[in-house]
Amino acid sequence: MLHFADSLTFSGRKVVAAWAALPFPAFPGSSLPDILSAHQQDVPWKLLSSWREQKVSCCFAQSVVLRGICQEKATSCLGQPPSPLHSCESPEQVLQQYLHTLFPGAFSTSHVLQQPCHTQAPFPQFFSPLLTRRGFLADKAQGFSTAGVESIPVLAALQSCPGLHSLLSGLCRQLRAPDVRRWSSFFTAGVEQDDFQEALEELRTLAQCYETGFGADEDEADSD
């Protein structure tokens, strides 16, 4: 995972944010262009990393993997395609086009795998009763328990994005707030005051690598 994250970071950046859709929101029989066309303003996956921002409007680099969506031709509609996504020839092209539309200029890699994520025991059974056995959304609750969900479509993503600036700078502020010199046990564990201050400065420098100019002055003022 460390080497994979390194492939998405550059210009001094070392951290990526994790996103996931578990399960990926799809109805039985719906095509990938139909699903993604309904999410043109915001991605249909959620942030797993812990910072306040829950929406990312841009990123520097990302890698996205989608599992469990059929790899047949994206659309078979006649006449004018409803959207540019419906003009793509394969699910891989659909996902790549979607990422380029939402995050123009970002380095993006994407993969679509036909095999879903299997969820038989001992996989935790926390699913909604609105899921079918194959993990697709249904109009009404199913007649079986959520333990009957055998597989689900899943999307996972790693992003190097500007939002990580607020996460890293906030962590730096929290570490600077207490006076660690008053905690004798902190330094008897082998931590030196100079090393601690150097680590804080490295963290502050790392946070600055994710600045884009929007809101940077406010974050910098908070860190001071």
Q: DSSP letters of 84-147?
A: GGGG-SSHHHHHHHHHHHHSTT-EEEEEEESS-EE--TTS-----TTB-TTS-B-SS--SS-GG
Res 188: pLDDT: 74
Exposure b/e, 164-184, CB count within 10 A at least 16 = b: bbbbbbbbbbeeeeeeeeeee
Q: Is 213 exposed, middle or buried (0-12, 13-18, 19+ CB in 10 A)?
A: exposed
The token pair at 111 is: 């993969």
Res 139: pLDDT: 80
Res 53: pLDDT: 61
Q: How far apart are CA 168 and CA 46, in angstroms?
A: 19
Task: Going from the first residue of the chain to its last (224 residues), give the mean pLDDT of each consecutive group of 10, the final group possibly shorter.
Answer: 84 90 89 89 82 74 91 50 84 93 91 92 86 87 71 94 88 84 72 84 93 52 40
Res 145: pLDDT: 61
Summarised one tens digit per residue, pLDDT across range 34-80 is 899 888 878 888 888 776 666 677 889 999 999 998 654 444 455 56
Res 222: pLDDT: 41
Percent of the chain surpassing pLDDT 90: 32
Q: Do the Cβ atoms of 162 and 210 come closer than 8 Å? A: yes
Res 146: pLDDT: 57
